[in-house]
A and B are shown apart, each in its own frame.
Chain A
Amino acid sequence: DARVTQTPRHKVTEMGQEVTMRCQPILGHNTVFWYRQTMMQGLELLAYFRNRAPLDDSGMPKDRFSAEMPDATLATLKIQPSEPRDSAVYFCASGLARGTEAFFGQGTRLTVV
Chain B
Amino acid sequence: GENVEQHPSTLSVQEGDSAVIKCTYSDSASNYFPWYKQELGKGPQLIIDIRSNVGEKKDQRIAVTLNKTAKHFSLHITETQPEDSAVYFCAAPSSGSARQLTFGSGTQLTVLP
Interface residues of A (CB under 8 A from B): 4, 31, 33, 42-43, 45, 48, 55-56, 91, 93, 97, 100-107
Q: Given the known inter-chain contacts A42-B103, A42-B106, A43-B89, please indicate yes or no for A104 contacting B98, CB distance below 8 A.
A: no
Q: Does B99 contact A (CB under 8 A)?
A: yes
Q: Give the number of residues in B that approach A within 8 Å (Cβ atoms).
A: 21
Minimum CB–CB distance from A64 to chain B (whole Å) comes to 21
Report the stretch among B43-51, B58-66, B67-75 that lies at the interface: B43-51
Q: Is the interface of A mostly helix, strand, loop or mixed?
A: strand
List of 7 A-B pairs having minimum Cβ-Cβ separation, nearest first: A104-B43, A43-B103, A100-B32, A104-B44, A42-B105, A48-B100, A106-B43
Which residue on chain A has the smallest CB distance to residue B42? A106
Contact A107 B43 (CB under 8 A): yes
